[in-house]
Amino acid sequence: MKQITSIDDYRHVISGEGTVVMFSAGWCPDCVVIEPILPELEEKYHDLAFYKVNRDDFIELCQELEVFGIPSFLVFKHGKEVHRFVSKDRKTKEEIDRFLSEAKEK
């Protein structure tokens, strides 16, 4: 999963055909727990581009997007948000998989 390093980078990547943005932080235990499953999901949903945003580096963006819990996932198509999985709860592989499957249909 590629890391977004600037707001310009963020704007560029969300303008694609299908982009999944994961908001996380290194200190977040729930984020760390799901890290090992992400490559498998990226491979399964290879038609989506996956990016990670460190919420501590992009607090204003998180506020703008109303991402108040991590890990959280937003899906964009052509610059528009089409689906979200945002909460403070730990996410399971099955929940993320279901979310990504739903996102592909949007």
Q: Tell me the whole-structure pTM to 2 decimals.
A: 0.93
Average pLDDT, the chain: 95
Does residue 88 or residue 85 have the better pLDDT? 85
In this structure, of 2-6, 14-18, 74-78, 88-92, the range with the lowest mean pLDDT score is 88-92
Catalytic residue among 4, 13, 28, 38: 28
How is the chain split into domains, by residue range? Answer: 2-104
- Is 62 in the active site? no
pLDDT tens per residue across span 33-60: 999 999 999 999 999 999 999 999 999 9
Question: Is residue 30 within 8 Å of residue 71, measured between CB atoms?
Answer: yes
Q: The tokens of 95 are what?
A: 């929940």
State the burial class of residue 50 (Cβ atoms within 10 Å of its Cβ: 0-12, 13-18, 19+). buried
CATH number of this structure's domain 2-104: 3.40.30.10
pLDDT band of residue 88 (cuts 50, 70, 90) is: confident
The residues pairing with 2 across neighbouring beta strands, listed in sequence order, are 51
- Tell me: pLDDT of 106 over 80: no
Q: Which residues of 15-40 are buried (b: 16+ CB within 10 A; e: fewer)?
A: eeebbbbbbbeeebeebeebeeebee
Catalytic residue among 13, 14, 21, 31: 31
- Tell me: pLDDT of 89 over 90: no
Phi, psi of 48 (to 5 degrees): -105, 145
